[in-house]
Amino acid sequence: MEYILKEKPTGCILCDKPKENRDRSNYILYRGQWNFIILNSYPYNPGHLMVAPYRHVGSLEELSEQELAEHFDIIKKANKVLTEAFHPHGFNIGINIGKAAGAGIDGHIHTHIVPRWEGDTNFMPVVSDVRILPQSLASTYEKLTDKVNLFFSG
């Protein structure tokens, strides 16, 4: 609800945040040549990451072969990082293309990686449209930083 009711910034956060050179405060975990990893500011679960190209494109077809290959390589490595850090029982990995498909950041393609655990939904969403996250974004960032450096350095 915080995201839905919040005044939306102008511009594109997936274009703007990497240009700010404030990775820690923007929760940018990794920078590749063509793509980067950022924590979702309004996560469904702890460890909810997004992989996005630096270039503002709205579809897979607009990505170059290099952008596309690196994008999916980062997804694969990020899955390993999250598995090592959080030991989830599964993952939801998805790309919402276009507003009708649920793209919260329409026009800049990105992939969501959401760790899942058996029974990870509780009564709060059913009763009051509230989701409880047991870990802050800053804590999640700290937990993942060393593992990202380890998995992406080789």
* Catalytic site positions: 110
Q: Where are the alpha helices (DSSP H) in 59-108?
A: 65-86
Measure Cα distances from 81 to 23, 30, 100 in Å: 18, 12, 31
End-to-end CA distance of the chain: 40
91, 113 Cβ separation under 8 angstroms:
yes
Tell me the CB-side half-sphere exposure of residue 54, using CA atoms within 13 A: 12
Tell me the CB-side half-sphere exposure of residue 57, using CA atoms within 13 A: 16
SS3 state at 42? coil
